[in-house]
Structure formats: structure tokens, C-alpha cells
Structure 1
Amino acid sequence: MKTIAVIPARGGSKRLPKKNVMLLGEIPLLVHSILFAKQNSSIIDEIYVSTDDEEIKKTALKFGAKVIDRPESLSGDLEPTVSALKHVLESIEFDVENVVLLQATNPLRPDNLLKEAFQVYEKGNYNSLFTVSRNYQKLGKINVDKFVPYNYEIGQRSQDLEPLYYENGLLYITKSKLILENIIISNDALPFEVNHIFANVDIDTQEDLDYAEYLYQKHQIA
């Protein structure tokens, strides 16, 4: 059975309108994920973009992805990503074993990320895998105008903190049978650690896009 990549890309974005087709480098934001999937053709058999937007659809087709027209009922701000993935699976006519979720808003990824992650995913026979990065910040809560440390004690050195990790959004791999049950990250999912500067990029504002542009240009020159 096949492994497919799915890139959800709605047209509606309130904080940064039309962000999925805004340029990062010389190509639209969305296209970075399409090209990443193409570079991993030894793993990914088909690339699908799920969208409700005509401009995004034209862009995806131009760069070689297939498009699944997402209905309005699955395109709202509060609709979970898994709905788009499930709709793609229900719209194609062949059996799929694995779904690789590539979020358009995480356009920069280490070149060997999917190859390394997929090898671990297959070898361990996992149901799902998602990428995480370590957080080195001193975190706390504010309770009645008082700061209450969460992961450290006042005066403790940062290097001595208990390791905490965050879901960075770079990559998800999931068995299709779980997607059909509305699950992307299963209870036994493997957290795949990625400590790379690209893990800090998640585009939601113009400032995020500017930062991504800086890293992209720096990476191109390096």
C-alpha cells in the first residue's frame, strides 16, 4: 500500500491574509512543502493539497501536487486538521497505509528529516510519529499577580532544568486507519526529536514570515 503526503492549505487566514501563497524566497509558502515531498519520492507516492481556495489550487497544480477540493463545512477556523486528512483519504480510490502531514506554515525542514524519521517509524512499527524540540526556557504561571515557576526553582541554572519538549509541527506520520478514526497523534506515538533552527518557524504573522525569510536566505547561502 501507498504512503501519501497531505498539505492542508485553507484560503482563510485572518492574521496574515493569503499567507499560503505569499512568497518565501522566490516561491509561494505552500510550495516549499510540495518540493520537500517531491525530494522524498522514494517514500512518498502521491502529494495532495487539501484546499478551499482557487488560487492555492492553481499554485499546487502548477508545482505538481494533486488537489482535493475541501468543502466549506471542513474549512472553518475551528475545524481540526484531521478532518482535512480524513476527507483526502475518503476522496481517493486506492488503499493508503501511511499519511505524511506537512503543514504549509512550517515550510523549512532539514533535508534528511523525512528519511530519518520514516526509517525509525518503520523499524519500530509505530502507529504514528511527530516531531518535537527541546525547550530551554524557564516557564511559569501568573497566579493573582504572582509568578509561580513551573519547570524550575528560582535561581536554578537553565542548563539544569528538567527537559521539556514542544510539538514543533515540522512533520507527522500516521497510519491511515488512525486518520479515519480522527486521530493524528496516537497514544503510543513516537516523539521524534529535532533540535534545529527550522523548528522555530511556524508562520502566523508577518514577523514570522520575515524571520523565515531571514533563515531561508541564510540557509541558501550556507
Structure 2
Amino acid sequence: MKNVAIIPARGGSKRLPNKNILLLDGIPLIVHSIIFAQKNAAIIDAVYVSTDDAKIKEIAIQYGAKVIDRPSKLAGDFEPTVCALKHCLEIINDKEIESVILLQPTNPLRPENLLQETFEVYTDKSCDSLFTVTRNHQKFGKIVGSEYIPFNYEIGQRSQDLEPIYFENGLLYITKTKAILNDEIITRNAFPYQVNHVFSTVDIDTKEDFDYAEYLLKKSKT
């Protein structure tokens, strides 16, 4: 059975124009995910980039990825990612593909052994999907009218005593092909794999996010 990596990268970013091709550490943002996939060739049989953008397509091919041309109707601001994945699988049309590794280009920094570790768990647990999460230690609340209502704590409670709460960090998703074809990335029996690494705090959507990623990347090299 085969496993493929799919990197969805449309060209229509609003808050940070052309973010998927901005240079991070000297190479386009999207290339960090391509290289991560290529370094895991023992697990990943092929690397695909789904895009509607000619420049992204050119860069992806230059760095050795295969490209699936995404139709404009699947590249809108509100189009779910699963639609792009499903379109890729339908175009590739390979019945031997068992699982898809989704790598979002906006999460370019990942611990080196992340895929090896998660794929082992994904296989051992026999689940239909796995996604990465990170514990959050902040105190959250809602504002209703002019009243602040704590969500995950009581006023005066110490941060270290909070009930554990986690966020979907976007670093990595592994999903059975059959689930994606049924419009699911995170399935009912998905395994939440905890990642306690500073890279899990990077999700690039603004210039400030990009600068933070650049800072962490430089710091990690020293």
C-alpha cells in the first residue's frame, strides 16, 4: 500500500500576499513542507502540491514535487481543505494509496522525527486518522454583553491547576484515503498526538507570524 503527502497551497492569500512563496531561511515557504516530505521517503511514496497558482506550481516542480492543478472553484477563501485533498486523489486515481499525509505550508517548522513517530502510532492504533495537538496553558473566557465569563478556569485559580486543554496545531495530519473520499480529515476515531515543541506555535497567516517563524528557525540553528 502507498502513502502520499499532499500540500495544499493556493495563491490567494489576503492578509499576507504571496505567503506560500515568501523566502523563509532563503527558500520559499512551501518548500519547507516539500523537503520535510522528501526526507521521509521511507514512509511517503510521492509528494503532491495542490495549487491554482502558476508561480507556486513552478517552485513545486523545481523542488521535485508533483503538481495537481486545482480548479478555481476549489481555491476560494471558504473552501474546506478536504475538497482539495479529495480532488487530488480523484486526479491521481491510484487505488493503492492507503493513507494521505497532509502538510500545510503555513506550518513550515516541524520536529525532525515527527512523521516517523506519528506514523508508528497511527499504524499501531489502527485508527482512520491522526492529528497533532498541543496543550495550552492559558486562561480562556467569553465576553457576553459586558460580562467576562471564564471558560476553562475559575477566577483566582492558578494556571498550573488548570484542567488540560489542547489546540489543533496544524503540524501534521494522517488520514485513510477512504475517509478523505468521504469528506473527512479528522475522523471519529482520530488519534490526537501531543506535540510539546515550540514549533507547534507557528501557523503563518500574518507578517508577524512569518517574522516569528523566522526567529524560531534561526534560534533552532544556534
Superposition map of 1:56-71 within 5 A: 56-71=56-71
CA offsets, 1:76-116, max 9 Å, x none? 11100000000000001322100000000000000000000
Structure 1: runs of 5+ lacking an equivalent: none
Q: What is aligned with 1:32?
A: 32
**Which structure 1 residue ranges, 4+ long, deviate > 3 Å from structure 2?**
none
CA–CA distance in structure 2, aligned partners of residues 220 and 24 of structure 1? 14
CA–CA distance in structure 2, aligned partners of residues 97 and 132 of structure 1? 23
CA–CA distance in structure 2, aligned partners of residues 150 and 26 of structure 1? 42
Matched to 1:85, the amino acid is: L
**What SS does the aligned partner of 1:123 have?**
helix
CA–CA distance in structure 2, aligned partners of residues 38 and 9 of structure 1? 17
Matched to 2:83, the amino acid is: S
CA–CA distance in structure 1, aligned partners of residues 126 and 156 of structure 2? 43
CA offsets, 1:52-84, max 9 Å, x none? 000000000000000000001111111000000
Q: What is aligned with 2:188?
A: 187
**What SS does the aligned partner of 1:14 have?**
coil
Q: What is aligned with 1:12?
A: 12
Please give the root-mean-square deviation of Cα atoms over the aligned residues, in Å. Answer: 0.6
CA–CA distance in structure 2, aligned partners of residues 166 and 20 of structure 1? 23
Q: What is aligned with 2:219?
A: 218
The yes-or-no answer on 1:158 pairing with 2:159 is yes
CA–CA distance in structure 1, aligned partners of residues 204 and 142 of structure 2? 26
CA offsets, 1:25-75, max 9 Å, x none? 010000000000011000000000000000000000000000000001111
CA offsets, 1:135-154, max 9 Å, x none? 10011111121111111111
CA–CA distance in structure 1, aligned partners of residues 21 and 101 of structure 2? 21
Q: What is aligned with 2:177?
A: 176
CA–CA distance in structure 1, aligned partners of residues 75 and 140 of structure 2? 34
Q: What is aligned with 1:132?
A: 133
CA–CA distance in structure 2, aligned partners of residues 94 and 9 of structure 1? 22
**What SS does the aligned partner of 1:182 have?**
coil
CA–CA distance in structure 1, aligned partners of residues 58 and 221 of structure 2? 26
Q: What is aligned with 1:110?
A: 111
Structure 2: runs of 5+ lacking an equivalent: none
The yes-or-no answer on 1:91 pairing with 2:82 is no
Q: What is aligned with 1:142?
A: 143
CA–CA distance in structure 1, aligned partners of residues 141 and 193 of structure 2? 25
State the identity as a percent: 64
Taking structure 2 as the reference length, the TM-score comes to 0.99
User: How many matched pairs?
Assistant: 221
**What SS does the aligned partner of 1:168 have?**
strand
CA-CA distance at 1:210 after TM superposition: 0.2
CA-CA distance at 1:130 after TM superposition: 0.3
